[in-house]
A and B are shown apart, each in its own frame.
Chain A
Amino acid sequence: MLSKKIHYLFKNYFEIAAFSMGLLLLVLMDPEAANGPSLCLFDQLGIKFCPGDGLGHAIAFIFEGEFYKSFNSNALGGPAIVILVGRIGYLLHQKLIANKTIKI
Chain B
Amino acid sequence: MAQMIDYLPELEGDEAAYISKLMESMDEDKAQKFTRVYRARRKEPQIVLLTTLVGFVAVAGVHRFLLGQIGMGILYLFTGGLCFIGTIVDLINYKSLAFEYNRDVAQEAVTLIK
Interface set of A (CB-CB < 8 Å, partner B)? 11-12, 14-15, 18-19, 22, 39-42, 50-52, 55-56, 74, 76, 79-80, 83-84, 86-87, 94, 100, 102-103
Contacts and interface: CB of A to CB of B under 8 A. Distances in A.
Interface in B27-71: 69, 71
A66 to B, nearest CB: 20
Nearest to A79: B75
Interface residues of B, number: 23
Given A87-B72, A100-B103, A102-B14, A55 B82 contact: yes
Contacts of A50: 80, 83
A56 B93 contact: no
B31 to A, nearest CB: 22
Contact of B78 (A40, A51, A87): A51
Contacts of B89: 14-15, 18-19
